[in-house]
Amino acid sequence: MLLKTFGWSFAVTALGLVAAVFYGGWTGFGIVAILSILEISLSFDNAVVNAGILKKMNAFWQKIFLTIGVLIAVFGMRLVFPVVIVAISAKIGPIEAVRLALDDKDKYQQLVTDAHPSIAAFGGMFLLMIFLDFIFEEREIKWLGWLERPLAKLGKVDMLSVCIALIVLLVSAMTFATNAHQHGGIHTDKTETVLIAGVAGVITYLIVAGLSGYFENKLEEEEEREHEAEEEAKKSGKKVPAVVMAGKAAFFMFLYLEVLDASFSFDGVIGAFAITNDIVLMALGLGIGAMYVRSLTVYLVRQGTLDDYIYLEHGAHYAIGALAVILLVTIQYEIHEVITGLVGVVLIAWSFFSSVQRNRRLAAAEGKDTGPNEQAEVSSGV
C-alpha cells in the first residue's frame, strides 16, 4: 500500500535530486532537499483538506489528481506561476521574465518580492473564504464546541462569510497595504493593488466553489434516486459502494482542488526565495514536495484516516484560517516560514490528539449503558 501510493513520489525524488546534482552540484542537491522538506511541512494541512474533497471522487479522477494535477502543481505553480507574476507586475513579456529568472536571478527575486502584496492578498482572501464557510456551517461533529456552536448559529445569516472577508480585506488594505514590504527593506503604499487582488481572490472562490457546490447537489439528487437500490443491496447482505463524483461534478471539484492547491502554494513559493533565487532548483525542490503532498492526500483517502480521526479536517481548516491571516500580515511584515509551518503542524497535531481521545471515549462508552443525551455529547467533541 505504501509503495503503491508513494511510489511515484519516491521516483520523482530520486530523479529530482540527481538532476539537482548535475545542475548545481552538491550545493544544488542540498538546496533541493531543503526546499522539498519546506514544501511538505507547509502543505500538510493542504493534504488533509484535499483528502476530504478527493474521497468524494471516483478512482479515475483520483488518478487525474495524481497525474495531470501534479503537472499543474509542479510546472504551473512552482515554475510558471513565479514567471507570470513577474511578467504581470513588471509589465514585461513572458520571454523576458524567463530570461531574468535564468540569467539575472537577483533582479528576478526583486520583482517577485515586489509582487508579494498582490499574491498575499489574493491567496489570503481565497483561503479566508474557505475557513469562514467551514466554521459558519452547521455540522453534526464539532471539535471546539464552545466556539463552533455560536459561529454555526451566526452562519445562518446569508452571505456572512463574504461580508466578513470583505471587511478583513478593507482593514488589511488600510493598515498593512499602506506600508507594504518591498525588496531591499523599503515600504510603499499598495492599497489599490491589495484591494484589487483581494477582491479577485474572493470572486475566484465564489465562482469555483459555487460551481462545485452546484454539481455536488446534482450528485446528491442522483444518490437519492439510487437510495432504493442501496436498501435492497443492504437487505441482501451485499456491500453498498459509496456513490462518488464523476463527470461534470468531479471536474469542477478537481478545478476547486487545483485553485486550493495554488493558494496553499503561495507561501511555499515566496518562502523558497529565502533559500534560493534559482528558478530551476526552486522548481525541483518544491515539485518534489508537491508530489509527496498529493501522495499523502491519496493515502489519507484510501486508509480512511479522516473517518477514523474525525477532527483532522477541523484542524486543517483552522490551519487554513491561520495561514490566511499570516499571508495578509506578510503584506507589511516578514514572517519566517518556520513559524508558518509550525502553526499548521500544531493545529493538526492538536486535532489528531483530540480525535484519539474521542475514539477512546467512544470505545469506553460502547460497554456502558449510555443514555441518548450522554452519547450525543461523547460524539460531538469538546
Asked if residue 243 has pLDDT above 50, the reply is no
Mean pLDDT, the chain, whole residue set? 77
Per-residue model confidence (pLDDT) at position 275: 63
**Are residues 114 and 182 in contact, defined by beta-carbon separation less than 8 angstroms?**
yes
Segments making up each domain of the chain, as ranges: 2-379
Of all residues in the chain, the percent with pLDDT exceeding 90 is 8
Per-residue model confidence (pLDDT) at position 167: 95
Distance of CA 343 to the CA centre of its chain: 14
Minimum mean pLDDT range among 12-26, 88-102, 145-159, 320-334: 88-102
Asked if residue 244 has pLDDT above 60, the reply is no
Asked if residue 60 has pLDDT above 60, the reply is yes
Average pLDDT of span 96-105: 80
pLDDT in tens, 312-354: 878 878 888 888 898 899 888 888 766 776 787 788 889 889 9
Asked if residue 85 has pLDDT above 90, the reply is no
Residue bearing the bigger pLDDT, 258 or 125: 125
Residue bearing the bigger pLDDT, 292 or 225: 292
How long a stretch of residues is the chain?
Answer: 382
End-to-end CA distance of the chain: 34
Per-residue model confidence (pLDDT) at position 247: 61
As a whole number of angstroms, the distance between CA 26 and CA 34 comes to: 12
Per-residue model confidence (pLDDT) at position 195: 93
pLDDT in tens, 148-206: 889 888 888 888 999 999 999 999 999 988 888 776 677 788 899 899 989 988 998 88
Q: What is the pTM of this model?
A: 0.71
Phi-psi region of 91 (alpha: psi -120 to 50; beta: other; left: phi over 0): left
Average pLDDT of span 241-268: 66
b/e burial code for range 231-263 (CB count within 10 A of at least 16 → b): eeeeeeeeeeeeebbeeebbbbbbebbbbbbbb
As a whole number of angstroms, the distance between CA 15 and CA 285 comes to: 11
pLDDT in tens, 279-304: 788 888 888 887 887 788 877 777 77
